[in-house]
Amino acid sequence: MKVWEKELFGRKLRLEYGKVAKQSLGSVVLTYNQSTILVTADAEEEPVKGGDFFPLTVEFQEKFYAVGKIPGGFIKREGKPSDEAILAARLIDRPIRPLFPENFYNEVQVIVTVFSMLGDDSIETWGITGASLALNLSPIPFNGLVAGVRIGYVDGRFIVFPTQEELKRSKMDIVVAGTKEALTMVEGEALEVSEEEMVKALMFAQDAIKEIITFEEEILSDFNVEKWEIEEERVPKEFIEDYLSLIDELELKNALLTQGKKNRDKAIAKYKEDVKSKFEEEFLDKWGESFYAEKFSFLNKAFEDKLQKTMRALIINENRRVDGRGVDDIREISCEVGLIPRVHGSGLFTRGETQSLAVVTLGAPMDVQLVDTIFSDEEKRFMLHYNFPPFSTGEVKRLRGVSRREIGHGHLAERAHKNLIPSDMEFPYTIRVVSEILESNGSSSMASVCSASLALMDAGVPIKKHVAGIAMGLVFEEDRFVILTDILGMEDHLGDMDFKVAGTREGITAFQMDVKTNKIDESVLKIALEKAKIGRLKILDLMYKTIAEPRKELASEVPIIKVINIPVSKIGEVIGPSGRVIKEISEIYDVEIYIEPDGRVKVNGRNLEKVNGAVKYIKDMTEEVESGKIFEGTVKRVENYGIFVEVLPGKVGMLHKSNLKDKLDTFKIGDKVKVEVLSVEEQGKFQLKQLKEE
């Protein structure tokens, strides 16, 4: 067993190796402050047969004992991963995936198991460092070291691994991962920070990452790990050269420049089939049918490589993109609101061949999402969900549960808006936005940001500003690079960076970056962020032309919610013994009533008159009877010495016959009488006098 300890960012980091999980190919126990995770890395020794993608899975196992909780629900054990656990797994997956060798197709699994957790320690971020060490300590091929940090921005000062209390005051909450040479992944949200502030945060994060990786290097210097050799299948160089000799650069370029995603895909597929036919005509006898059939996947890869080089050359050398745009051009955009009857709000955002329909539903306070994970135990009143059906790309697939990608994209769009959603005090509704992706060819998550903003304003949610999102790309060739605005799916797949920025006219609200090159430095980031800002402002102008501010009236289908405040001391009276009083009010007026500990009362119903009636009843029953106040009361009892009058629900006072203007025998139970409070005794009894109706 080996142990290493180091003080990092004001807290102690401890790493253990060789004590537990010894049958795993690589494992470490990482403790930062009061949080502990076990990270294991395992792989199959043989590659997947016929594999053309890298089968990596990352799992983040949240254990409720880690925070001293027993899982809620009927089954008292952990079940399927929560959205938060899936997001944590994606956070770890994205920076490590590019560091595996290109031709490595063995199935790899990294599992992060949480043993203990304190929210201040951001243990999911430390999972990136733990995965890096576990993989490097294993025989699994892995190229380099990676680490992750969480960055806050409080009072003009950047903080590494901020506490939960500091995050409440922070203008920024981002997770940044990278190697010693460059950043590879960013994910987070911000309170309308400037592009300059974001670049400074990323550079600050890079320095912190270097500090962690230096410690990783110290640890690994104690080991001499023998890595598996990748048994790379090879073919004669001449076999590939014969195939490439049949590809005409101009014809391939023309196929690439075909307009429309579907048309372009068909043109490329047809040209690829033509090249295949030519190869079979000219070279099949030379190589033989069995060899050709067995090694055909190499020709497929050669075609993809040639396609990538041709597309990148078009961008670098000719400043042309496959859809005919210049590098700074945004695809044609259209915005619409109020498309769907009966829903509470809707917005359609179309950018080129990417289209998102957002639908808003406004619900009652009871509709909040109850979040019960190791990360939080709270009520969530704003939700944004993202759906990516197969028809959005013209494919046929089975409809299954929500994918990890859908959860991740929805979370990013939600983060773009969450800090601009009005508070519960200002707007007491639970808000759910659903983004339905109807077409997709690049950056559907950023289209969701835009459609959600349109739909929120259409629903009358009092947001003060529109939020828009745009995806940027990058192509690097030696020392030359080009930043692409509003990338297509192909440019994302064949390029070097996917860089998503969402925000208002005033600043950035959400940010995500995934990089496939180690050449991203401060100058590249500055240019990319500045171009993203220009693009974002253009999109915002179009959105404001469509709907400039939230609608003043909510849709007729929206439930009616009225909010009043009562003294905290009166809460018990409104609830009543065993909830009897509040149940009676709810049944009489056909409403739902929610009482907050601070005395706020929310009355929810479908009928305005009934909601107002319930509100008045609660106001009356919590109002104090004071001397000099005037009421119209109801006669409850008639005696020979006077009458008893109910002036407020449950509050009955004595009106002595000496204080009557009318004769005693003229009153009967149920009559209305105008009275003034003469005096209130210590026990709560009060005396009344009759006032004459004017």
Task: Quote the radius of gyration of the chain (alpha carbons, Å).
Answer: 33
Which of 318, 351, 368 finishes a domain? 318
Q: In this structure, what token pair is assigned to residue 113?
A: 């198991």
Flag whether 618 is in a domain: yes
User: What is the distance of C-alpha 691 from the center of its chain?
Assistant: 62
Provide the 8-state DSSP code for 81.
P
CATH number of the CATH domain containing 521? 3.30.230.70
pLDDT digits (tens, 9 = 90+) for 338-387: 999 999 999 999 999 999 999 999 999 888 888 888 888 788 999 999 99
pLDDT digits (tens, 9 = 90+) for 230-253: 877 788 899 999 999 999 999 999
204-243 b/e (C-beta count within 10 Å ≥ 16 → b): bbbebbeebbebbeebeeeeeeeeeeeeeeeeeeebbebb
Decide if 644 contacts 620 (C-beta within 8 A): no
> Does one domain contain both 209 and 242?
no
Residues with Cβ < 8 Å from 277, sequence gap 6 or more?
none
Decide if 448 contacts 356 (C-beta within 8 A): yes
Phi, psi of 11, deg, nearest 5: -135, 160
Strands 106-116 and 56-61: parallel
Which of 546, 574, 590 finishes a domain? 546
- Does 498 carry a binding-site annotation? yes
β-bridge mates for residue 601, sequence order: 564, 595
- Indicate whether 73 pLDDT > 80: no
Query: Is residue 190 packed enough to be buried (19+ CB in 10 Å), middle (13-18) or exposed (0-12)?
Result: buried
Q: Rounded to whole angstroms, how far apart are CA atoms 122 and 104? A: 31
Q: Tokens 């060739």 correspond to what residue?
A: 477
Flag whether 340 is in a domain: yes
> Does one domain contain both 358 and 297?
no
pLDDT on residue 682: 75
| Average pLDDT value over all residues in the chain | 92
Q: In this structure, what token pair is assigned to residue 211?
A: 């500090």
Handedness of CA 15, 21, 27, 31 (dihedral sign): negative
Flag whether 591 is in a domain: yes
Q: Tokens 């929560």 correspond to what residue?
A: 82
Per the document, the length of the chain is: 694
Q: Which band of pLDDT confidence, cut at 50, 70 and 90, is reported for residue 50?
A: low
Q: What is the pTM of this model?
A: 0.89
> Does one domain contain both 590 and 656?
no
Query: Is residue 298 packed enough to be buried (19+ CB in 10 Å), middle (13-18) or exposed (0-12)?
Result: middle
Q: Rounded to whole angstroms, how far apart are CA atoms 147 and 305? A: 30
Flag whether 323 is in a domain: no
Decide if 325 contacts 331 (C-beta within 8 A): yes
- Taking the CA atoms of residue 449, residue 452, residue 456 and residue 457 in that order, the dihedral angle to the nearest 10 degrees is 70
- Does 492 carry a binding-site annotation? yes
> Does one domain contain both 183 and 286?
no
> Does one domain contain both 199 and 252?
no
Flag whether 516 is in a domain: yes
pLDDT digits (tens, 9 = 90+) for 643-675: 999 988 878 999 888 888 888 888 899 889 898
Domain containing residue 94 = 2-220
pLDDT on residue 51: 67
CATH number of the CATH domain containing 597? 3.30.1370.10
pLDDT on residue 371: 82
Q: How many CB atoms lie within 10 A of CB 294?
A: 12
CATH number of the CATH domain containing 663? 2.40.50.140
CA atoms within 13 A on the CB side of 618: 36
pLDDT digits (tens, 9 = 90+) for 590-632: 999 999 999 999 999 999 999 999 998 998 888 888 888 888 8
> Does one domain contain both 243 and 343?
no
> Does one domain contain both 388 and 457?
yes
Provide the 8-state DSSP code for 394.
T
pLDDT digits (tens, 9 = 90+) for 133-180: 999 999 999 988 999 999 999 999 999 999 999 999 999 999 999 999
Q: Rounded to whole angstroms, how far apart are CA atoms 586 and 579? A: 11
> Does one domain contain both 270 and 202?
no
Q: Which band of pLDDT confidence, cut at 50, 70 and 90, is reported for residue 447?
A: very high
Q: Tokens 């997947």 correspond to what residue?
A: 48
> Does one domain contain both 181 and 95?
yes
> Does one domain contain both 54 and 131?
yes
SS3 letters for 169-208?
CCCEEEEEEECCCCEEEEEEEEEEECHHHHHHHHHHHHHH
Phi, psi of 520, deg, nearest 5: -80, 115
Flag whether 654 is in a domain: yes
59-84 b/e (C-beta count within 10 Å ≥ 16 → b): bbbbbbebbeeebeeeeeeeeebbbb
- What's the total number of domains in the chain? 5
Decide if 593 contacts 582 (C-beta within 8 A): yes
Question: Nearest CA to 274 among 242, 298, 305, 251?
Answer: 251
Flag whether 149 is in a domain: yes
Which of 519, 546, 573 finishes a domain? 546
pLDDT digits (tens, 9 = 90+) for 249-290: 999 999 999 999 999 999 999 999 999 999 999 988 888 889
Query: Is residue 201 packed enough to be buried (19+ CB in 10 Å), middle (13-18) or exposed (0-12)?
Result: buried
Q: Which band of pLDDT confidence, cut at 50, 70 and 90, is reported for residue 480?
A: confident
pLDDT on residue 467: 98
Q: In this structure, what token pair is assigned to residue 248?
A: 């005409």
At 601, the amino acid letter reads V
Provide the 8-state DSSP code for 665.
G
Q: How many CB atoms lie within 10 A of CB 351?
A: 27
Flag whether 649 is in a domain: yes
pLDDT on residue 199: 95
Q: Rounded to whole angstroms, how far apart are CA atoms 138 and 23? A: 11
> Does one domain contain both 528 and 598?
no
| Average pLDDT over every residue of 307-334 | 92
> Does one domain contain both 307 and 412?
no
